[in-house]
Structure 1
Amino acid sequence: MSQILVINPNSNESVTEGLRESLQEFNSSADIECCTLEDGPFGVETDEDIVNVIPMVVQRISESPEFDAYVIACYSDPGLAECNELFSKPVFGMQRSAIEKAISTGEKFGVLALSKQSIKRHMAYMRDLDLDGQLAGELPLDISVDEAANDADSFEKIVSQGRRLIDELGADVLILGCAGMASHRKPSEKVLQVPVIEPAQAAVSIAIEAV
């Protein structure tokens, strides 16, 4: 059975625990280990946070050669390009994986982001990858990573903005744009009645197929 390391590049253990729960459905297909970068920011939310965690992600992978593949569990994919240049084993990012999954699932995808600042960063990345052709839109929840994982009000914001993406912008599949939202995938999909993609799940499923 393949071994996959899922790296949460922030220091918030509750986010990592949410990832563990979300990824349990893959336990019969791979040995999945989720880890927290203890020296990372409490939430990866700014451009500065992203720059700061890149060497930490690189170091964590370099110290973990026993794994067959790696997933960077942050929607901004910090360090993905660097890791794919440095390491021979495959490294997958959540955003790229989620968009590829969304494109294969529906006609137009919508993204639920933490903030307006996040959207600006995501849009630039999607354009660089030429993956924005089926984007219906991206809307902010105006919450932090920790609130995404631990604040009960976050679910209502996901549902409210999700409905806007569907009804106003024409999305027929949604992406949760932060690892902290992992626990909200199933309940939001049930309420909104469209496929909802949890990016870490998307990345792990692609990693399993690759190895």
Structure 2
Amino acid sequence: MPGPIVVINPNSNQAVTDGLDAALEAFRLPGGPGIECLTLAEGPFGIESQLDSDSVVLPLARLVQGRPDAGAFVIACYSDPGLDACRSVTKRPVFGIQESGVLTALARADLFGIIAIAEASVARHRRFMARMGVLGRLAAEIPLNMSVDESARGEKTFERLVEVGGALKARGAGAVILGCAGMARHRPGLEAELGVPVIDPTQAAVAMAMGTLLAG
């Protein structure tokens, strides 16, 4: 039996980790790999800027180095901070949720849209997608313009998600990616409301990790 899939929330907001843990419950299958969700205590309360993203690279790499028992790792922040650094310090597979979410969206629709957390996130995400070579499949990315904590616990978050998701669908998006790990709990309701696939990128990354481990 391979070691667990270690899902790391790089911000220090436990509510986000709890939401991830709940969203991944259906992936905990009898005989399958364990799934362990961790909070990076050294991280900022929310990763909302390039500086926030860069600040967690070394702590993430140290955490990965300290878990030789893991079967795979998932970095559960949509900026994919430290992805290359973490891959350089372990022989275990390391999945970033932005990369995994985009790849999953490409398998579900011709064009995809992204619900970002804030305007400042959009340029950061586009740089990563340019590296992936997928900008030609992006219908649009629209920010909620709220904090990570609000996206996880805010009273009006779902209303705003429906509004932004509808705008992405109107621009041709056949699938919508939740561009922040804190939005995980809203995925089923939003998919029902929009009528198109809504992808929680952490679920997408864990699905890839599970496939890798089960294939041996």
The aligned residue for residue 6 of structure 1 is 7
Q: Confirm or deny that 1:19 pairs with 2:42.
A: no
| Equivalence map 1:98-117=2 (5 Å) | 98-117=101-120
Alpha-carbon distance in structure 1 between the residues aligned to 2:97 and 2:184: 12
Alpha-carbon distance in structure 1 between the residues aligned to 2:135 and 2:211: 24
The aligned residue for residue 48 of structure 2 is 45
The aligned residue for residue 37 of structure 2 is 34
Per-residue deviation, 1:116? 1.1
1:189 corresponds to which of 191, 200, 205 = 191
Kindly provide the CA deviation profile for residues 131-179 of structure 1, in whole angstroms up to 9, marking residues without a partner as x: 2221101001001100000002111111001000001x10010000000
1:72 corresponds to which of 59, 62, 75 = 75
Letter in 1 for 2:81: P
Which consecutive segments of 4 or more residues in structure 1 shift more than 3 A? none
Per-residue deviation, 1:83? 1.3
SS at match of 2:136: coil
CA contact (8 A) 2:65 2:89 kept: no
Alpha-carbon distance in structure 2 between the residues aligned to 1:11 and 1:86: 23
Alpha-carbon distance in structure 1 between the residues aligned to 2:77 and 2:92: 19
The aligned residue for residue 175 of structure 1 is 177
> RMSD of aligned C-alpha atoms?
0.8
Alpha-carbon distance in structure 2 between the residues aligned to 1:82 and 1:64: 15
Kindly provide the CA deviation profile for residues 182-211 of structure 1, in whole angstroms up to 9, marking residues without a partner as x: 000000001111100000000000011111
TM-score when scaled to structure 1? Answer: 0.98
Per-residue deviation, 1:107? 1.1
The aligned residue for residue 89 of structure 1 is 92
Alpha-carbon distance in structure 2 between the residues aligned to 1:30 and 1:113: 30
The aligned residue for residue 128 of structure 2 is 125
The gaps in structure 2 that reach 5 residues or longer are none
SS at match of 2:139: strand
| Equivalence map 1:140-159=2 (5 Å) | 140-159=143-162
The aligned residue for residue 165 of structure 2 is 162
Percent identical pairs in the alignment equals 45
Letter in 2 for 1:9: P
Q: Confirm or deny that 1:55 pairs with 2:58.
A: yes
Alpha-carbon distance in structure 2 between the residues aligned to 1:174 and 1:92: 20
